[in-house]
Amino acid sequence: MESVILNTHQLEQKIQRIAYQLFEEHQDEETLIFAGVNGNGFLFAKEINTFFQTICPIKTTVLEVIVDKSNPFKQAISCNDQGIENTALILIDDVLNSGSTLIAAVHYFLKKPMKKIKTVVLIDRNHRTFPIAADFVGMSLATTLQEHVEVRSENGILKEVILK
């Protein structure tokens, strides 16, 4: 049985709220890097960036962080991250469950001389295996381990969040 947790309109509201929160926190920055985890995390990063650019003059770059989500510690993480040193980075993913993908990606960027790193997730399921939390969360969900959260997209745009 599926139930819609967030529809398209509600997703847009979450994206806008997070963009405003990021602007408030980073208003003194000249440049911001939005690094989205491959898949829906990258789509989420692009959508945040699109709205972010309508509300503030901060220069942004969107990067895709390639992580093997099924085993993020075994495969090397890759990202076209040249020239981002000493900038503020916002690491973005769609769903935070065990925390393995997010912590592996944070570890990747901690090896670089970053000004600061903040994390954003659309859905926080609160089932951590690793000691990581998102700084900005679209929605926290109390789910069982048997339930599955699916973020659906269409033509490169997030459409809805489903609980199965």
What are the beta bridge partners of residue 40? none
Rounded Cα distance, 136 and 95, in Å: 12
Residue 100's contacts (CB-CB under 8 Å, 6 or more residues apart) are 72, 73, 129, 130
pLDDT of residue 163: 94
Options 3.40.50.2020, 3.40.50.1100, 3.60.130.10, 3.40.47.10; CATH of 3-24+31-61+96-163: 3.40.50.2020
| Count of CB atoms situated within 10 Å of the CB of 160 | 18
Give, in degrees to the nearest 5, the angle at Cα 110 between 104 and 112.
125
Question: Tens place of pLDDT for every residue, the chain, 164 residues?
Answer: 899 999 999 999 999 999 999 999 999 999 999 999 999 999 999 999 999 999 999 999 999 999 998 888 888 898 988 888 899 999 999 999 889 999 999 999 999 999 999 999 999 998 788 889 999 999 999 888 888 899 999 999 999 999 99
User: Which residue carries 């997030």 as its tokens?
Assistant: 158
pTM (2 decimals)?
0.93
